[in-house]
Structures are given as C-alpha cells and as structure tokens.
Amino acid sequence: MKNFLTSLVCVGLLSLATAQAADLYINSKKVAKSANYTGSTGAASLRPTTSRQWIESNRGGTTELAISNFGFLIEDPALNKLLYGIGNRLLAHWPGTIPPAAIFVQGDGSPLLYGAATTQAQEIFIRYGVLLHAESEDELAAVVAHELGHVLLEHGKTLDYKKDMQTALQTAEDAGELYATARALEVDSATKNITLDPAIEKSLKRTAEQKIVANQLYTSVHATVYSRAHEIAADQLALDLLVAAGYSPAGIKNSLERMAHSHALSTEVSSFFEASSKAMLEDTLQAVQQYTDENGIQSAQLSQFMNNSQDQLKDSALDFGKSALKKFSSSSHPVPRKRVKKLTAYLYDSYSRSVRRRQPDAASASQFREGAIGAVVQNYSAANQAIEIIGYGDLDAAKTLTENALGKPTNNDAYTNYAAFMYGRSANDTKSALRNLQSIDADSLVPIFASVEMADMLAFAGETSRLSALVDKSESLFGPVEEFFPAKISLALAVDDQLKVQNLASQCFAVDAASKALVARCAEVSGINPPEGTGSPLKSLGNLFKPKN
C-alpha cells in the first residue's frame, strides 16, 4: 500500500511538472510560430568561430554584417571557449534548430556599459562591461540567453540594421564631419575663406573626440532597436533556457538591474560630454568670429554661416548626447524595472519554489575574473578609460592608461594600440601614433571607422606602403569602402598618377548621398573642385548646424 501511494504521488508530481512545462513560454504558440521551432531538442548548437571565419562564411550574403563597423572585438581563445560553452549548454534545451550565429565580445566603449546586442545577421555582441561586472556565470549566461532568444524567435527579420543605425546615428556623422572640417578649413582671406589658427583647430578636434565618445555611450546601450514586445519575449525564453540548463533564474534579474544602473551612469557621462561639447563649440565659434573680425575678412557666405551657426546652435545636432540616449533606451528597451517585474511574475507563475530559490554560483566568476581572460578584460578597460579621458583633455592620465593597456597579453591587440594611437594623435605625437599602428597584429580585425582614421594619419605622414597595405586589407575583408577615397587619392598622388587622381575624385564626388565632409576631404587632397552643389569645406562646417524639422 505504501509503495502504491508513493507511486501515486510520483505520478501526480510528474503530471504537475508536465502541466507546468506546457505553460512555459518555450512551448507557447508564439514561440512555435518561429521557423526555428520543431518541438524536439538536440538539433541546436553553435559552432565556435573567429571574426575572420564569420566574415568568410558570410561572403556574398544578402544580409549586411555589422561586424565590419560595430567596434573592436576581444578575440581570446579562452573567452571564446567559455561563451560558446554557455551558449551550447543553453541550446541543449531548445526544442528546435538555430540559424548560423556567432558570439563576439565588443571591447571598445565605456566600462560602465552592461548589456549586449543582436543584429539582423545573427551576430551577438556582448559588451565587455558584462565580463567586468557580472558576479557569476549565471549572470553571463543570462545575457547570452536573452540574445539567443532574439535569434531563436527570429526577431532579426523585422530589424533593418542598416536603416535603423543610419537613422539613429545621423548626428554621429557630424563628429566625423567636425574633425574633417577642422583639417579641411585651410584657406585665406584672399579667396574669401577662413584660415583657422592652431588653437581653434585643436578645440574643434577635441570637440569631435567628445562627440565620438558620447556617441559610443548612447548607441551601445542597445545597438539594435527591438520592440518592447520582443524584449519581453526574449526575457521569458531566456528564463526558460536558463532554468532548463541548471542556471539560477536570479541571473537574469541581476543582469537587468545592472543594465538599469549602467543606463543611469551612461546618461550622466553622456550629459557631461554634451554640455562640454556645446561649451567648446560656442567658444570656437566666438574665436572664429574674433579672428575674422581682426583680420578684416568680409564674406557674405561667412557672415551667413556665423549667423546661422549662432542662431541654431542650441537646436543643433550637438543636443544628441543625453536626449538621444534617453530616447533610444526608452523606445527600444522597456524600463528594466518593468522588465524585472514582468519576469518575476512569469517566474512565480511558471516555476516551483525550489527553482525560484536556486542561487547563482558565485565561484564561477573566477573563470572570467582571473587568468588570461581577466588580464585581457582589464587591459581593455584601461584602453577605454584612456579614450574617455582624452575627451576630458587629460592627456597625462590618458598616456598612463594606454601604457597599462599595452601590457601583456594585449600588447599587439588592435584596440589597445588604437587607444594609444588616439592618444598620440591628440597629443600631436605623430611618431608615437604611427609606432602604435605598426604594433597591431596583422591578423587583428580593425573596424572600418578606425581603419579610416589610421589611413588618414598614414597619408598625412607620407607612409604610402603602409597606407596601401591598410586599405587593401580592409577592403579585402569588407569590400569597397567609400571613406577610403581620400587615402586612395593620396596614394595616386604619391606616384604622380594624375589620371587616377581625377578618376578617384570624380568617384568620390559621385557617391550616392555623399557626405559633405568626405567631398571636402577628397577636394582638399586632390586639389580638384567638386561639382556645384556637392559641398565645400565651409558648407561642410555649416552642415553641423541643421535646424530641427
């Protein structure tokens, strides 16, 4: 009789567990609509891949890869093994398949940032801030699980990465224009144009650096603009995968709370850069006005530009810092507190007390706190702090941090050397900047935006062989890059190929929706005037002050 009652209780518990499982989001009608859902486990797995393997395997595809310009990646074998191990542990319990996907750690950006992003091409980018601040493997797994949720639920189908980024980052292009304009504005009063003295040029460049840093802060909060419904769905599926894999459900709650804290800190820092950029640009405009008055420069075009700039300054693209961060976060991510509340309700409705009380394994954090991974992450942290401090103008502190970042095992990494390059450029130490470019491992992946900056420096220094190698390497990976036109013109000039110079300049001027800064740079380097209406250095600077629609 006792055995019968025991069996009856076991059957009852099994029935309860089965009924409970049927209510889980992982088996809901919404999830079953995904083409990746089959109803049975065992077919989903991730194949560890490097950035170059990923690019090669997707060559010729119809979906644009974000890896080309998303940022610098931390490509460490031990880190790869850890992340893909977590991913496959989670996928072992997914009832279906998974399309080709890759996990990367984005190394550049503020150490404050905690989170990740998934692109239309199924590229999962985890912020290195997660490795800095997660207190267990359970929390790291929660971030991976959430992004896998986007992939498994096919959220990328509704995401036009390029379109969203172009819209969201329209003001970010002004940072590049601002820096390019500071270099392109080299004409005199005889031609009724402006010549900036070095002090004004330096202020303008520093403003550009601050805009770049502020842009990194707000765009990285959530680089892919998923809907609120998608975020909630990914949270719930992530919780199911975490529990099934033996992780603590507290991991995802802790991660969401860290994301909220990260958001608050990032807003504060971005707000500083916004205010500082405004102040410096106002000072720059006043200096330009004073310079032109003292030198008797009278130009209707200049007067109109100055008036428009002063009138539109407060409503211009320079307001992007704090307001843009808040806008993107609120529209793409539900407020983390609300997500925690919804997730907690789902946890209590779906799982037993024993599951809810499962604790994170704090000791597991040692896997990414110590050893090779820990050293890599700490050095990247130093590099990112250096980049931020350059924006503040404290070059002595930035120098110390870049020296720390260049220690082993990252002395040949692309990003640590890029940070040192940025310091050298800001300190007007061309020799040091070039030396750091030379130290970058030939196999390192350098995003397009950084390659263009490096090419600009190499062209300025007359390093034609290294410039040619850099351009060839980048375009062999990503295809033709429009921003390389000034570098290619410099290379053609170095061998006195005037026909090629003219052809390249014409191609640059004809680029669809050509950036006015790019046109100005091509005109400056080639010495060829652009066609009427395609912009000039002066108009390029004026373009920074667009009135609101």
Provide the pLDDT for residue 259: 77
Give residue-wise pLDDT tens across range 374-394: 888 889 999 988 887 876 678
Average pLDDT of span 428-439: 92
Give mean pLDDT, residues 42-67: 92
509-524 mean pLDDT: 76
Q: Does residue 103 sit in the same domain as residue 234?
A: yes
SS3 117: strand
Most confident of 111-115, 217-221, 305-309, 505-509: 505-509
Grouping H, G, I as helix, E, B as strand and the rest as coil, residue 281 is helix
Same domain, 213 and 343: yes
Q: Based on the fold, state whether residues 95 and 218 are members of the same structural domain.
A: yes
Domain count, the chain: 2
Which band of pLDDT confidence, cut at 50, 70 and 90, is reported for residue 524? confident
Least confident segment among 220-229, 349-358, 460-469: 220-229
On the question of a cis peptide bond just before residue 530, with omega within 30 degrees of 0, the verdict is no
- Cα–Cα dist 493/211, whole Å: 32
Structural domain contains residue 305: yes
* pLDDT exceeds cutoff 90 at 414: yes
pLDDT at res. 402: 96
Question: Domain for residue 126, yes or no?
Answer: yes
Higher pLDDT, 318 or 471: 471
The residue among 352, 369, 386 that closes a domain is: 369
pLDDT given at position 382: 93
More reliable by pLDDT, 311 or 67: 67
Residue 167 has pLDDT above 70, yes or no: no
**Predicted pLDDT of residue 321:** 37
Q: Are residues 355 and 460 part of one domain?
A: no
Q: Which residue has the higher pLDDT, 313 or 269?
A: 269
**Residues 210 and 107 occupy one common structural domain:** yes
> What digits encode the pLDDT tens for the residues 402-411?
999 999 999 9
Per-residue pLDDT tens over the stretch 76-85: 898 999 999 9
Q: Which of 129-143, 243-257, 265-279, 495-509 has the lowest mean pLDDT?
A: 265-279
**Choice among 413-417, 532-536, 541-545 with the minimum mean pLDDT:** 541-545
Summary mean pLDDT of the chain: 75
Whether 508 maps to a domain, the answer reads yes
Cα(327)–Cα(329) distance, rounded to whole angstroms? 6
Q: Which domain holds residue 511?
A: 447-549
Domain stops at, among 369, 389, 420: 369
Residue 163 has pLDDT above 50, yes or no: no
Task: Note the pLDDT of residue 514.
Answer: 53
- 70 pLDDT band (50/70/90 cuts)? confident
Judge whether 404 lies within some domain: no
Domain co-membership, 350 together with 237: yes
Shared domain for 110 and 256, answered yes or no, is yes
Q: Residue 288: pLDDT band by 50, 70, 90 thresholds?
A: low
Question: Is position 384 within any domain?
Answer: no
- For range 416-420, the mean pLDDT: 95
Alpha-carbon distance of 162 to 120, in angstroms, equals 9
Dihedral sign for Cα atoms in the order 346, 348, 349, 350: positive
Q: Cα dist. 83→46, 86, 234, 258 in Å?
A: 10, 5, 18, 19
How high is the pLDDT of residue 350?
Answer: 93
Q: How confident is the model at residue 164 (pLDDT cuts 50, 70, 90)?
A: very low
Say if residue 73 is in the same domain as residue 172: yes
Measured distance CA(205)–CA(466) in Å, rounded? 25
Give the burial class of 164: count Cβ atoms within 10 A of its Cβ; 0-12 exposed, 13-18 middle, 19 or more buried.
middle
Same domain assignment for residues 329 and 476: no
> In the prediction, which pLDDT does 459 show?
92
Cα 217 from Cα 207, distance rounded (Å):
15
99: DSSP letter: -
**Structural domain contains residue 293:** yes
Residues 364 and 216 in one domain: yes
Do residues 348 and 456 share a domain?
no
Residue 396 placed within a domain: no
- For strand 102-106 and strand 116-118, is the pairing parallel, antiparallel, or unpaired? unpaired
Residues 365 and 463 in one domain: no
Q: Is residue 182 part of a domain?
A: no
Give strand pairing partners of 123.
102
Distance CA 437, CA 418 (A): 7
**pLDDT at 356 (0 to 100):** 93
Q: How far apart are CA 65 and CA 51, in angstroms?
A: 11
Higher-scoring residue by pLDDT: 3, 133: 133
Is it the case that residue 548 has pLDDT exceeding 50? no
Cβ-Cβ contacts under 8 Å for 31 (sequence gap 6 or more): 25, 37, 152, 153, 237
In the numeric block, which tokens belong to residue 244?
């099934």
Domain-terminating residue out of 369, 404, 423: 369
pTM of the prediction?
0.77
Average pLDDT of span 281-301: 60
> What per-residue confidence (pLDDT) applies to 180?
39
| Range from 90-94, 329-333, 542-546 that averages highest in pLDDT | 90-94
| pLDDT tens digits, one per residue of 314-363 | 333 334 333 433 333 333 344 567 788 889 999 999 999 999 999 999 89
